[in-house]
Amino acid sequence: MTWLILTGAILTEVAATLSLRASEGLRKKRWIAPVAVFYVTAFSLLTLALAHGMPVGIAYGIWAASGVALTAVGARVFFQERLTWRMTAGIVLIAIGVFVIELGSQAH
């Protein structure tokens, strides 16, 4: 259940960041509410994951790393931003890092 909550926190944080990008620096006012709602939801879900006993180092590390990777992919898909081979390699390394963190948390 805790991992499902953390996944929700990651996805809503990515949605918030992509909404912030869509707002063009909050110049497009219709995006302000989604940005606020998604960020509040993301932090609330992260807090809930921690309250369910997930260690903060694991929760925050996975939340932040996954958010960076998914935001880069989302920016490519929705805004046609560049995604170079080096960025793709970084995303792969993030995925490996998240996997290693998960393995480490199971060993504990």
Q: 32-72 pLDDT, tens per residue?
A: 999 999 999 999 999 999 999 999 988 998 899 899 999 99
Cβ-count burial 58-92 (b if 16+ within 10 Å, e if not): bbeebbebbbebbbbbbbeeeeeeeeeeeeeeebe
Alpha helix (H) residue ranges in 1-108 = 2-22, 32-51, 56-79, 85-107
pLDDT score at 13: 98
Under DSSP, is residue 36 helix (H, G, I), strand (E, B) or coil?
helix
> What is the reported pTM?
0.87
Distance CA 71, CA 17 (A): 7
pLDDT score at 99: 84
